[in-house]
Amino acid sequence: MFSKIFDRSSWSLFVALTRRDLTQRYRGSLMGLLWAFVTPLSLLAVYAFVFRSVFEARWPSVPPSGPSVGSVLQRLMSTMLPEGIAFALNLFVGLFVLSAFGEVISRAPRLVLDHPQLVRRVVFPLPMLGFVLAATAFVQTFMQFLVLLFVLLTFMLFGVFKSELVMPNLALLSIELSFRIGVSVLILACLAPLLLGLSWLLAALGTYFRDIQYVTPAVMSFLMFLGPVFYPLSALPTDIQPWVYLNPITLIAEQIRAVLLLGASVDGWALSIYLGLTSMFACAAYCLFARVRKGFADVL
């Protein structure tokens, strides 16, 4: 289905457009793309201060689902993170997953409207704009994920120095941590089909119905407050928790927290269902985009 988009001649165009989309927002600044790391790191420091010193908030250290591993990493995680830092890291996971959707939902309704010159070019594959937007959102989210890893590994390093771990335990710790980071990256990658589908769906609808761009702020509020961003899923009543999984950020955020911050096992079955459903959604959104693209030139 995507062979016409990503042939050899189009791949370099996709890379060039994605690179331009990532760099043009920082164009003219002294630090350039470095702001993509500095800004989330500063926000994480603010969250840690506020929730540690002001609200004295806590995040449960018990894995939200799945059996406990009881590994060296889990025991170290339970003792090395101050309560304010632990809360900030859990909060940050929800925020950077949410930011991926925010990037797509806020920009996708005007994706075609902002590129009228490309619509009139018959040779340009318009669905590529969806790939570019989804790739941009994913790369920025991954940069924030790297900030999370930097902070986590920094505190873990201090925790190792203060602990009495022997060399065999250190070797096991490094192996398990590398594995869990890799699993977390794969969990984050499960967002890609949904981001892609949203890009095509909102771009197609937003071209014909301009009001959609004004609805997106309300959608972001729903995703934020009706999902485990500022609170753990366990804080909700038991009969409500299954319904929260209808929020697309819930499973991804909870699984990253469980694997990376709580030392729990990944729920591969739930992620497989999530990936299957979002892939079907992306295919349906692409079909809709391809069907209505013939009328784009008439409404621009």
* pLDDT tens profile 124-170: 788 889 999 999 999 989 988 998 888 888 877 766 555 555 455 66
Residue 254: pLDDT band by 50, 70, 90 thresholds?
very high
Q: Which amino acid is at 195?
A: L
Per the domain annotation, does 292 fall within a domain? yes
Residue 111 has pLDDT above 80, yes or no: yes
Per-chain mean pLDDT for the chain? 80
Looking at the predicted structure, is the pLDDT value of residue 7 above 80? Answer: no
Residue 2 lies inside a defined structural domain of this protein:
no
Residue scoring higher pLDDT (33 or 113): 113
pLDDT band at 83 (very low <50, low <70, confident <90, very high): low
Q: For residues 183, 184, 188 and 189, what is the CA-based torsion angle, rounded to 10 degrees?
A: -20
Question: Predicted confidence band at 245 (pLDDT cuts at 50, 70, 90)?
Answer: very high
pLDDT of residue 69: 40
Buried b / exposed e over 273-289, threshold 16 CB at 10 Å, is ebbeebbebbbebbebb
Query: CB count, 10 Å around CB of 253?
Result: 24
* Assigned domain for 232 exists: yes
Q: Count CB-CB contacts under 10 A for residue 215.
A: 14
212: left (phi over 0), alpha (psi -120 to 50) or beta: alpha
Judged against a pLDDT cut of 80, whether residue 174 lies above it is answered with no
The dihedrals phi and psi of 68, each to the nearest 5 degrees, come to: -75, 140
Residue 1 located in a structural domain: no
Query: Exposed, middle or buried: residue 61 (CB in 10 Å: 0-12, 13-18, 19+)?
Result: middle
Residue 270 lies in a domain: yes
Sequence-ordered list of residues with C-beta below 8 angstroms from that of 63, at least 6 positions apart, any chain: 258, 262, 263, 264
Interaxial angle between packed helices 8-24 and 128-162, expressed in degrees from 0 to 180 and rounded to the nearest 10 = 60
Judged by average pLDDT, the poorest of 11-25, 86-100, 156-170 is 156-170
More confident residue, 182 or 3: 182
Instruction: Classify residue 182 as exposed, middle or buried by CB count within 10 Å of its CB (0-12, 13-18, 19+).
Output: exposed
pLDDT higher than threshold 90 for residue 197: yes
Res 267 pLDDT > 50: yes
In whole angstroms, give the CA distance from residue 37 to residue 5. 31
pLDDT band of 289, cuts 50, 70, 90: very high
Pair 169, 128: CB distance under 8 Å: no
Residue 9 has pLDDT above 90, yes or no: no
pTM of the prediction?
A: 0.86
Residue 217 included in any domain: yes
Question: Which of 44-58, 85-99, 205-219 has the least mean pLDDT?
Answer: 44-58
pLDDT for 255: 93
What dihedral do alpha carbons 272, 220, 62, 76 form, nearest 10°? 90
Higher pLDDT, 86 or 187: 187
Per the domain annotation, does 275 fall within a domain? yes
Domain with 61 in it: 8-299
Structure tokens of 33? 């793309």
CA distance 86 to 253: 15
More confident residue, 243 or 36: 243
Within 8 A by CB and 6+ apart from 92, the residues are: 40, 43, 44, 47, 144, 147, 148
| Domain tally, the chain | 1
Asked whether residue 14 is assigned to any structural domain, the reply reads: yes
The amino acid occupying position 136 is: T
Percent of the chain with pLDDT over 70: 77
Residue with tokens 């591969």: 268
